[in-house]
Chains A and B, each alone.
Chain A
Amino acid sequence: MQGLYAVFSKELRDHFSSYRFVILFALIAMVSFITSYMAGVHMKGNLEALAKTRFPFLTLFSTPGAVLSMVQFVAFFGPLIGLVLGFDSINRERADGTLVKLVSQPIYRDAVINGKFLAGVTTISIILLSIVLVISGFGLALVGTVPEVEEVWRIFIFLVISIFYISFWLGVAILFSISLKSIATSALASAALWIFLSFFVSLGADVLANTVAPVDNSKETEPATIIKNLKIKEMVSLCSPMVLYTDATATIMDPMRNTISIVSIVQRERRPMEKLLSSRFQNPLSLGQSLIVVFPYMIALIAITFICFAISYLIFMLQEIRT
């Protein structure tokens, strides 16, 4: 344990004193300020017009202000935090010759990788927590609403899911830094994987779905084909951690949505009467129900985070130190 703690505290100190952390934090703080300000202004108008908005506090995070909402922003660019914190964690030590020195101290070898991963996760948690607190404080001042207990819980769950999501990318970055010798290559490889999984998988999903079950808008298509098309799209998209994360936080941050399946949303939208009904008489899901809806996605997200770390762990433990 002593070795783990020593590595952990050194890594944590390194993270917080590094320029990359300062730059990253400034960037995120700026963007979240802007998004929450936009959301706040937007909501203020809504609050004046409508009798009552449910969960006004959550809308600070989930309403797209100018471009992206806070939740979307984390989904899109959160992975960058993980990648930047992890892409050189092992191979820099290898290049500098400090890895041999580190593992020839009386510590277990896994203390090195565990300490680094935990320090990264702690840094991520601190970044996210402070951002959420800043937005909340900002929202209190701007909108003048106090969060309900349930909203606090929902934000807490959102925070936990986000930490796992970004930690997954930290794990990916560490995995590349273990298996690739060059720092530039590992940075590039992890960024490439991020871009591929976040942006190209959904494109691929569209292509695949339209090939297997073509839907032609100009002609009448069998409902069964439409559903098949959507199901394929949904399934392939789930390969993307970003989609997984968006789904996992969906009903948590937006309780008015009571499903995250594209199929049922689309079906509802196709029938005007139902759409009207659902929008007029919809009640928010309770916290427990929201959790049930997103539970599979949450578990999947946590699972891929652990699997990714476990692979890094195994490779690191079996690797020759001097290669």
Chain B
Amino acid sequence: MEADRVIETVSLTKNYDHHRAVNSLSFEIKEGEIFGFLGPNGAGKTTTLLMLLGLSRPSAGYSRVCGLDPLRKAREVKRLVGYLPENVGFYADLNAVESLEYVATLNGIKRAEASAKIHELLEVMGLSQDAHKKVGAFSRGMRQRLGVAEVLIKDPRVLFLDEPTIGLDPDGALRLIDLIQSLNRDKNITVLIASHNLYQVQKISHRVGIMIDGKMVAEGSVQSLAEAKFGVGEKEYSLEEVYMKYFREV
């Protein structure tokens, strides 16, 4: 079904001056899915995310996000998609509340509505204590949680998370993963999560895609990928084993 597909790319390609970052990529993500986006550094994951947001112009091919063309309807797409970049940056001299307020005004959220939401999100992300502390004094984990709060303030239908758990302590990472899972379950938010933490990805993803050198070399549930490589058997393979198998073959 057409409406079912939240993300769809058709031979999406991006060339930089000397290399091809994304090479004829075609994949789709259905509504309500958590899709784990795997691949070594420089495989083109972030470039793909930027193209899906309309922030980078594909050299060839096209993509649709919620049925919209990110190039023509960039604003509408960005209204629906919350993007948490890797190493998200903050204005050091704003405090947590001010940072969230700025993102809220950029999203056109009314003041009164925004302040209630900010309060709620700070609570959820465990930042209520530090609400009026300057972001410049935040620890890595606090920054990451504030980044997630900034993404959630617009009530996104789709989440693009680029290494969301990097720099988080084990407890923080676990709570973030749980939060993502509950957002997916309760609000039916589609999640595209790019990460190197295979254990976490395996834990929450419905399907994974492995991208190497700009190409999607495998796509499907962890189980189906394992079966494709190791054959049907009793043994349950971890995502790590599957990933390494694909990675070594390329």
Contacts and interface: CB of A to CB of B under 8 A. Distances in A.
Interface residues of B, number: 29
A203 B56 CA distance: 46
Given A105-B107, A106-B108, A98 B79 contact: no
A104 B89 CA distance: 12
B104 to A, nearest CB: 9
Contact of A321 (B55, B78, B79, B90): B55
B50 A6 contact: no
A292 interface: no
Given A103-B55, A104-B78, A108-B75, A3 B106 contact: yes
B91 interface: yes
B85 A97 contact: yes
A100 B102 contact: no
B50 A106 contact: no
B4 interface: no
B199 to A, nearest CB: 26
Nearest to A108: B75
Given A6-B106, A105-B103, A321-B55, A97 B88 contact: yes
A222 interface: no
B85 A100 contact: yes
Interface string A1-21: 011011101100010010000
A271 interface: no
Contacts of A97: 85, 87-89
Interface string B57-76: 00000000000000000111
A322 B56 contact: yes
Nearest to B108: A2
A216 B122 CA distance: 78
A11 to B, nearest CB: 11
24 contacts: A2-B108, A93-B89, A96-B90, A97-B85, A98-B90, A98-B91, A100-B85, A100-B88, A101-B85, A101-B88, A103-B55, A105-B78, A105-B106, A105-B154, A106-B107, A107-B78, A108-B75, A109-B74, A320-B56, A321-B55, A321-B56, A322-B46, A322-B47, A322-B55
Given A97-B87, A100-B55, A101-B89, 10 more contacts: A100-B85, A104-B81, A104-B83, A104-B85, A105-B106, A106-B79, A106-B106, A109-B74, A322-B47, A322-B56
Interface of B: 46-47, 50, 53, 55-56, 74-76, 78-79, 81, 83, 85, 87-93, 102-103, 105-108, 150, 154
